[in-house]
Amino acid sequence: MKGKNVQYATELLEAEKSRQGIIPLTEMDNSLTVEDAYQIQLETVKLKIAQGKVIVGKKIGLTSVAMQKMLNVDEPDYGHLFDDMQIENGAIVKVDSMISPKVEAEIGFVLKEDLVGPNITYIDVLMATKYVVPTLEIIDSRVKDWKIKLVDTVADNGSSAKVVVGSKTTTIDLVNLRTISMVLFKNGELQATGAGAAALGHPAYAIAWLANKLAEFGITLKKDELILPGALSAAISVSAGDTIEAKFGALGSVTVHFE
Amino acid sequence: MTLLKDKEKSIIDYLYNAERDVKEVIKVTDEYPTLTIKEAYELQDGLLARKRAESGSKLIGVKLGLTSKAKQEMMGVNEAIYGYLHSDMLSFEWEAVAFSDLIHPKIEPEIAFLMAEDLQGINISAEDVINATKYVAPALEIIDSRYKDFRFTLVDVVADNCSSAKFLVGSNWVSPNSIDLSNIGMVMSKNGKVEQTGSSAAVLGNPATAIAWAVNELGALGKGLKKGDIILSGAMSEAIAFNRGDSVIAEFDGLGSVSMYSK
Radius of gyration of the CA atoms of chain A, in A:
17
* Cβ-Cβ contacts under 8 Å for A162 (sequence gap 6 or more): A85, A86, A87, A93, A98, A137, A138
pTM (2 d.p.): 0.94
Whole-Å CA distances, B35 to A164, B18, B19, B47, B158? 63, 20, 21, 16, 11
pLDDT for res A64: 84
Q: Give chain B's residues under pLDDT 70.
A: 1-4
Query: For residue A1, is pLDDT > 70?
Result: no
**Taking the domains of chain A in order of start, what are their residue ranges?**
2-258
Q: Write out the residues of chain A at the interface with chain B, using a CB-CB cutoff of 8 A.
A: 119, 121-124, 126-128, 172-173, 176-179, 196-197, 200-202, 205
Distance CA B5, CA B3 (A): 6
Place domain A2-258 in its CATH homologous superfamily.
Fumarylacetoacetase-like, C-terminal domain (3.90.850.10)
pLDDT for res B2: 55
Round to the nearest angstrom and report the end-to-end CA distance of chain B.
Answer: 41
Minimum Cα–Cα distance from B257: chain A residue: A176
Q: Which of B87, B135, B171 sits opposite A202 (nearest CB)?
A: B171
* Shortest distance, CA A153 to any CA of chain B (angstroms): 27
What letter represents residue B66's amino acid?
A: L
pLDDT for res A174: 97
Task: Give me the domains of chain B, ranges plus CATH numbers.
Answer: 5-261 (3.90.850.10)
- Residue A222's SS3 state is coil
Positions of E strands within chain A: 55-61, 77-82, 86-88, 92-93, 102-111, 129-139, 160-165, 181-186, 189-195, 226-228, 236-237, 243-247, 253-258
> Which of B168, B173, B174 to mutate to test binding with chain A, by most A CBs within 10 Å of its CB?
B173
For A49, left (φ over 0), alpha (ψ -120 to 50), or beta?
Answer: alpha
Q: Which of A119, A126, A201 sits opposite B94 (nearest CB)?
A: A201
The overall average pLDDT reported for chain A is: 96
Tell me whether residues A200 and B94 touch, CB distance under 8 A. yes
Q: Helices B37-55 and B5-20, interaxial angle, to 10°? A: 60
Residue pair A250/A170 in contact by the 8 Å Cβ criterion: yes
Write down how long chain A is: 259
pLDDT for res B77: 87
pLDDT 10s digits, A183-223 = 999 999 999 999 999 999 999 999 999 999 999 999 999 99
Tell me whether residues B58 and A205 touch, CB distance under 8 A. no
pLDDT for res B3: 57
Mean pLDDT of the region A164-176? 98
- How large is the ipTM? 0.91
* Cβ-Cβ contacts under 8 Å for B101 (sequence gap 6 or more): B22, B165
Mean pLDDT of the region A135-153? 96
pLDDT for res B4: 61
